[in-house]
Amino acid sequence: MKDYAIIATAYNSEIRIYASKTTNLVNEARVIHDTWPTATAAFGRFLTVSAMMGLMYKDEEKLTLQIKGNGPIGTMLVDTCGNGEVRGDIINPHVYIRSEVKGKLDVGAAVGNGFLHVTKDLNMRSMFTSSSELKTGEIAEDFANYFVVSEQTPTAVSLGVLVENDQTVRSAGGFIVQVMPGASDETISQLERTIYDIGPVSRWFDEQKSLESLVSAIANKTEKVLDIKDLHYKCHCSKDGFARSLSALDNATMNELIEDNGIEVVCHFCKKKYHFDKNDLLKIRENQK
């Protein structure tokens, strides 16, 4: 089954819901980056919430999100936009930490303390970056805090990635629920009860319950679906793109590469390799002039 997101309003438009199933794209990211289970869970949660957040913007608007923690994973970076495409990079994918107390993967310990940075490129020739401190490193709480601190929007975030014993992703997904201005106290307290009753979103998916029923449960059956969007792990890198990056190199470095008879460039996001031989580099140097 493909990955997708449902966008809905509920409780007389007092609440906005983004809910998504991302099992395939998280598994694809695991394969590309060779993540170990705790890194798979952390990176998967981050990709999932970023993909949903991207849907809050127009198709061509871009978001770059960064989680900079002091845990063993190091920095994670995700690019997304309004059309449901997401790609990411993780500094150290080989992290496997279990919490014996909680009996599960310890994402908080793997991410550590630090900051979440969100950069918006809204096609206005300028970028806006806003940041908030990581609360727990568990990703969901960190984003809920970000929405309150940086966007003044009361938000509940729940994310879940279940990793099989063979390290593949059994299920991944989550939701973002935002309280619109003017929502009544009654709606807010009902929403809090409903979300509490739903419990961890990973359990919801593990019981083979659908995304539609999750939206309906959050909305207490008041949902009005606004849109359904496919989600993909997608990288738009190209040899031309890397050629443009190489053309920014200074003369000495470029000459060195030419003497070395070429260079292989690896895309951080999809691990695709591009080879630039001597002729390619001579052409780039020619165009620099």
Among 215, 267, 281, 284, binds Zn ion (CB under 5 A): 267
Query: In sequence order, what are the beta bridge partners of 162?
Result: 171
Q: Give me the least distance between CB of 66 and Zn ion, in Å please.
A: 18
Nearer to Zn ion, 14 or 85 (CB): 85
* Residue 99, SS3 per DSSP: strand
C-alpha angle with apex 89: 161 to 48, nearest 5 degrees? Answer: 30
Q: Which of 170, 150, 141 is nearest to 46 (CA)?
A: 141
User: Cβ-count burial of 15 within 10 angstroms (0-12 exposed, 13-18 middle, 19+ buried)?
Assistant: buried
Question: Which residue stretch of 24-32, 142-150, 222-230, 232-240 sits at the interface with Zn ion (rule: CB under 5 A)?
Answer: 232-240
Nearer to Zn ion, 134 or 267 (CB): 267
Among 46, 269, 274, 276, binds Zn ion (CB under 5 A): 269
By CB under 5 A, the count of residues binding Zn ion is: 6
Which residues in the 175-194 window bind Zn ion by CB under 5 A? none
Q: Give me the least distance between CB of 65 and Zn ion, in Å please.
A: 17
* Residue 181, SS3 per DSSP: coil
Residues in the chain: 289
Q: Which of 28, 93, 16, 13 is nearest to 53 (CA)?
A: 16
Residue 265 contacts Zn ion per CB under 5 A: no
Q: Give me the least distance between CB of 272 and Zn ion, in Å please.
A: 5
**Share in percent of the chain as helix, strand, coil (round to 5):** 35, 30, 35
Among 122, 149, 183, 235, binds Zn ion (CB under 5 A): 235
Question: Which residue stretch of 3-11, 192-200, 205-213, 269-277 sits at the interface with Zn ion (rule: CB under 5 A)?
Answer: 269-277
Task: Report the interface residues with Zn ion, using CB under 5 A.
Answer: 235, 237, 267, 269-270, 272
